[in-house]
Amino acid sequence: MQKDLRDFTMMLADNSMILGQRLAEWCGHGPILEQDIALTNIALDLIGEARNYYQYLANEEGKEEDDYPMRRDARSFKNVLLVEQPNGNWGDTIIRQLLFDCWHYYHLEAMTRSNDETLASIAKKSIKEAAYHITFSGEWTIRLGDGTDESHQKMQDALERLIPFFEEIFMAADYEQVCQSTGISPDLSSIKDQAYARLNDVITKATLKMPDQYFNKKGGKTGLHSEYLGHLLSDMQFLQRAYPGGTW
C-alpha cells in the first residue's frame, strides 16, 4: 500500500476509534437510559467503521487488525485532537460530537465517490449511520442551548472550549494533499463549507454564539497529541500490553 494512502486510511480509522472509545466511557453513566444507549450505539458504529479501515490496512500489509489500534503508541496515532478530548459533562460531549459529525457526514458523502473502491465502499456503509449521528447531536444541541439558563450556559461554555479544535479537521496533512490530488480523498475546502453551514445553522437554532476569536489547535494528524490520548490508550490497550499476543 502506498504510504500516503496508508496514512490517510489510518487517520480515518483513528478518528473513529478514539471517538468511539471516548463515547463508550458514557456506558452506564448517561443522564437517562435512552441517551445512555444512544451514545453507546454511536460508539459501536464508530468502532465498527474504524475496524473496516484497520481490516483494509491489515489485508494490504499482511498484519493483524489489532496491530493498529492495540499495538501502537500515542505518537503513531493520526486522529485529530478533537476526538481525544475528555467527555466532560453532557454538554461537552454533545458539542464535541456535533463538531465531529459536521465534518464526518459530509466527508463520508464525498468519500462515496473516492477512486479507492474499498474506501468508497466503507463510506457508503457508514454514511447511513452518520446521518443518524448528526441528527442526534444537532437535536440535543438545540434542546440544551435553547433550554434553561443553566443548560444554555453549559453549552456555550462547551462550544467556546471545543471550537478551537474544529479547524484542524480541515487542515490537510501532506498525505491528505497527495490523496486529494489522486482522487482518493475529497477537497477539504468544499467539505469545510458544508460543515460550517450545518454547524452555524444548528448553533443559531440553539441560540448559541460562535466565539469571535480563538486560537486553532492542531497537530494530531501528524502524531502530536494531548496528554489525554495517552491516558485513553492505557485503558484501551491494557490487555494487549499486559498479555502480548493473548487470545481468548
The yes-or-no verdict on residue 248 having pLDDT over 80 is no
- Quick one: which of 151, 150, 163, 148 has its CA closest to 200? 163
Answer yes or no: is 191 within a domain. Answer: yes
* Tens digit of each residue's pLDDT (9 = 90 or more) over 205-240: 999 999 988 999 999 999 999 999 999 999 999 988
Asked whether the predicted pLDDT for residue 1 surpasses 90, the reply is: no
Each residue's pLDDT tens digit, 46-95: 999 999 999 999 999 999 999 999 999 999 999 999 999 999 999 999 99
Please determine, for residue 245, whether its predicted confidence score (pLDDT) is greater than 80: no
Query: Is residue 79 domain-resident?
Result: yes
pLDDT (tens digit per residue) in 111-131: 999 999 999 999 999 999 999
The pLDDT of residue 33: 84
Query: Is residue 116 within 8 Å of residue 184, measured between CB atoms?
Result: yes
CB-based contact 103:169 (threshold 8 Å) = yes
pLDDT at 246 exceeding the cut of 80 = no
Residue 187: inside a domain: yes
Closest CA to 12 of 44, 43, 56: 56
CA dist 157 and 126 (Å) reads 31
For residues 64 and 204, is the Cβ–Cβ distance under 8 A? Answer: no
pLDDT of residue 30: 83
Q: Is 174 left (phi over 0), alpha (psi -120 to 50) or beta?
A: alpha
What does pLDDT average to over the chain?
Answer: 96
- Please indicate, yes or no, if residue 146 is contained in any of the structural domains: yes
Judge whether 248 lies within some domain. Answer: no
- Cα–Cα separations (whole angstroms), residue 199 to 63, 96, 170: 39, 12, 14
Percent of the chain, pLDDT > 90? 91
User: DSSP of 122-177, one letter per residue?
Assistant: HHHHHHHHHHHHHHHHHHHHHHHHTS-HHHHHHHHHHHHHHGGGTGGGGS--HHHH
Q: Is residue 234 part of a domain?
A: yes
pLDDT at residue number 17? 99
Q: Output the nine-digit C-alpha cell for 233.
A: 490508550
pLDDT in tens, 133-161: 999 999 999 999 999 999 999 999 999 99
**pLDDT bracket for residue 36 (50, 70, 90):** confident
When divided into structural domains, the chain yields a total of 1
Residue 108 lies in a domain: yes
Residue 41 lies in a domain: yes
Query: Which CATH number is 18's domain given?
Result: 1.20.1260.10
What is the spatial distance between Cα 169 and Cα 100, in angstroms, rounded to a whole number? Answer: 9
Q: Does residue 3 have a pLDDT over 80?
A: yes
What pLDDT, on a 0 to 100 scale, did the predictor assign at position 38?
Answer: 93
Other Cβ atoms less than 10 A from the Cβ of 177: the count is 14
What's the pLDDT at 213?
86
pTM for the full model?
A: 0.95
CA–CA gap between residue 25 and residue 22 (Å, rounded): 5
pLDDT at residue 239 in the model: 87
Alpha-carbon distance of 167 to 216, in angstroms, equals 6
CA dist 24 and 77 (Å) reads 19
* Containing structural domain, residue 45: 3-211+219-242
